[in-house]
Structure 1
Amino acid sequence: SGLVRRAAADGRMTQAVELLRTVAAILPGFSSADGLGDLADPVRLAAGDRAPRLVCLPSPMALGGAHQYARFARHFQGRRDVLVPTVPGFGPGEALPLSVDAVVEVVVEGIRRSCPDGRPYVLLGYSSGGQFAHAAAEIMEKAGQPASGVVLLDTYLPGDDGKDELWRQMFDGMLDRESSLGGFGTARLAAMSRYSDLIQDCLPGALTAPVLFVRPRESFATGTDDWRAEWPAEHEPADVPGTHFTILEDHAEATAAAVDAWLTRMPAG
């Protein structure tokens, strides 16, 4: 992790990424949920009887985890369930996914554990976690257990080679926040590397459920004009205060209120 920080500080991101890929290749991997072993239960951050409940996927990056939704979930306490399934590979000794299918299989199992009673649910994903939320929604829809909707919080799709400076500043933004987790260990950095590769092949497919696409009004990056995320499929847009990072930090309440307003407009059932 120290070498990665040094490389990032020196502007050698390519070397940092290659180092993390090498580490990830050495660590154990899984190709299905069965190969992962025991799956941790979803983390409940809020409880309430109002439908639909929210099942939230964190960003599969170094900052990721249920803690990302702590402030967001306060808005729903006593009104809606808010649960966060496990995204594996970020803890010491945890195996890393070997494919997109392996990740989605684990996410789908987490969704089913979050919704054991058949009540309506909405999937929500932050940053690149939105890609896996959308992919899981596609699977659940085909399985006859569809989500009532999908919420994407500032999800950037891969494939835009003109945003190198934006990605560099996004990485810097993560490093600026690592003290909130007590530092990034090898497991978190290696997992980020693996997921960064997998999201290249996790592009959105056909989905019937409505999509809310939430974007911040401010850029976290300096000197870049083309900073706003775009979603190519049909969706309802919502702009909220803050940046890519602060929509779930200082401005989490405003983000939650925008999501809640959309949920409230949904037809019952």
Structure 2
Amino acid sequence: MTTEQGQLVETSDESMNKNRTIEWSTIPTPTSLPEVAPCDWAEALNGPDTDTAQVIVLDCRRDESGALPTDTHVMTQKVSAALQSWSGQRRFDSSPFLVLTRGAISVSTDEVVHPAGSAIWELVKSAQTENPGRIILVDTDSSDKGLGDLFGLMAVRNMTVTAVASAEPQLAIRGDILFAPRRNGIGHAPDPATVVAESVEQSPAASSKSADPSIVRMFRQAVADDKFGDGLEFLLAAAKLRPAFDHYAAGIPRGIGLSGGTPHNSGGDTLPHVVLICTPAFLGGYIQYILLAAHLGGHRRLSVIPLSGYEPDEPLPASLDAAIESIAKTVLDTVGNDEFVLAGMSGGGNLAHATAARLLEQSNTRLQGLIIFDSFIAREANERQMATARDAVVDTEAMIPDLAGFTTERLTALACWLELLLQLEYQPVECEALVIKCTKPSPTHNLNEWPIESWSTEQTVQTVDAEHVALCSTEAHTTAQVVDQWLRQLSANDG
């Protein structure tokens, strides 16, 4: 559709671009063209390990059969892996990365958006925010064969030179006409990092769904289309493009504790210090334990350890080992000289168990015990829980969108940590443990009937007449009583 200003408005494909309107404007063809030659990504990757300035091109216009890509998962994994490798090698520091697509976006009402290409665009736009000025997105209607033959090589060269000369991070080429996204149809293309930052800073409760960052929109659409698993795969691919840590760094994550980021809940001083590990499915933050803390923390020292990556500028763990080591050292920083117990609900319990094992391997003598709130060791049980994560995530945002709503950081961190949970291996830890099981089935599964599992060589099993989520919410008062009674007995035994 042509506007009075001669702009073309992208019309949303109902399955992939619901609630999205982007204005594309024609821009002049650059007259001053740089001396640039494209280099195929595979050739650059397998080439000499030298730092040479060249534009690296990842051509995503075809799959392995030569047809227009239709497998979104395969294509996003391919792009994610390539971007990760490119950004992680210093020899490519002076080499821009150009991703070439076909049919990923529409600049007129008669153009059809293809889901795989659209997913690639959303993924690469996210990567652009982490690598400002270094990644270029170009969508074309050209049917050339790419860098594999002479005609295709010349076509890609011309597109590369034009894209670099235009200085546009995102460009659509239709024949000899260039289009670029414009805010309100005028001025220069917005900086992708600025656009995403502005979207993330808005409260999810106050902003419309159409104002969501691109990654969030794509995930919402996957949930609406009953493709939660595919949505998680997409989020995981996007997560791999975010900054990651492979060793412990003090102060990451931020906001430890229940009261303004203080090391512990100042309401009580009774020891042992209870340290709760957050569960990934709650979209991060201490809010998941706030009711339990209200009943338990009035007299007892209590802290919450959030998982890194859920807030802006927080990196994600590069591996399971890095994740557990970081949690373990953050726990030690938090408790100081206190004797303490580790605890966690659902997936947080699995992480608490792994952290306890790590601390005991390091001969830590201040760890007094472990508390598991309805967590599971068996892969079958965890996969069954994973299948219900959709409802948990969606319900969480509906209940407390201002505190735990969808943002790009929270959703990609969710996918990262859920993937890490599936990598955990279990051996009973050698410390006293309290295992709390539910007696009522959850609306989506009956894991309350799952056999008792061995978390520790010395474990006590207690039941609470509640379903899974209620343990730390509507039945938090009962759960707190069970925990406090066990802690008093633990202290008496130590005494």
Relative to the length of structure 2, the TM-score reads 0.50
Q: Determine whether 1:136 maps to 2:355.
A: yes
Aligned partners of 1:218 and 1:241 also within 8 Å: yes
SS of 1:20 mapped into structure 2: helix
Q: Determine whether 1:11 maps to 2:226.
A: yes
Please tell me the residue identity of whatever aligns with 1:169. Answer: T
Residue in structure 1 matching 2:462, options 238, 259, 269? 238
Structure 2 counterpart of 1:184: 406
Q: How many residues are matched? A: 265
Please tell me the residue identity of whatever aligns with 2:271. Answer: A
Residue in structure 1 matching 2:248, options 33, 46, 54? 33
RMSD: 2.3
Q: Determine whether 1:53 maps to 2:273.
A: yes
1:226 is displaced (CA, Å) by 4.7
Aligned partners of 1:61 and 1:188 also within 8 Å: no
1:158 is displaced (CA, Å) by 5.5
Structure 2 counterpart of 1:218: 440
Residue in structure 1 matching 2:394, options 153, 166, 175? 175
Question: Comparing both chains, which one has the higher relative contact order based on Cα–Cα distances under 8 Å and sequence gaps of 6 or more?
Answer: 1
1:196 is displaced (CA, Å) by 1.0
Residue in structure 2 matching 1:113, options 327, 333, 339? 333
SS of 1:45 mapped into structure 2: coil
Structure 1 counterpart of 2:418: 196
User: In structure 2, how many angstroms separate the alpha carbons of the residues matched to 1:32 and 1:11?
Assistant: 37
Aligned partners of 1:90 and 1:187 also within 8 Å: yes
Aligned partners of 2:235 and 2:415 also within 8 Å: yes
SS of 2:281 mapped into structure 1: coil
Structure 2 counterpart of 1:159: 379
Please tell me the residue identity of whatever aligns with 2:484. Answer: D
Structure 2 counterpart of 1:42: 256
Structure 2 counterpart of 1:265: 489
Percent identity between matched residues is 26
Please tell me the residue identity of whatever aligns with 1:17. Answer: L
Relative distance call for 1:57 and 1:231 in structure 2 (3 A) is same
Residue in structure 1 matching 2:480, options 227, 240, 256? 256
Unaligned stretches of 5+ in structure 2? Answer: 1-215, 258-263
User: In structure 1, how many angstroms separate the alpha carbons of the residues matched to 2:275 and 2:240?
Assistant: 30
Unaligned stretches of 5+ in structure 1? Answer: none
User: In structure 2, how many angstroms separate the alpha carbons of the residues matched to 1:232 and 1:268?
Assistant: 23
What do the CA deviations read for 1:52-80 (whole angstroms, capped 9, x no partner)?
A: 11011110234332111111112233421
Q: Aligned ranges for residues 68-107 of structure 1 at < 5 Å?
A: 68-107=288-327
Aligned partners of 2:371 and 2:435 also within 8 Å: yes
1:142 is displaced (CA, Å) by 2.6
Q: Determine whether 1:66 maps to 2:268.
A: no
User: In structure 2, how many angstroms separate the alpha carbons of the residues matched to 1:31 and 1:246?
Assistant: 35
Relative to the length of structure 1, the TM-score reads 0.88
What do the CA deviations read for 1:97-139 (whole angstroms, capped 9, x no partner)?
A: 111111111111221122212x321110111111221121122
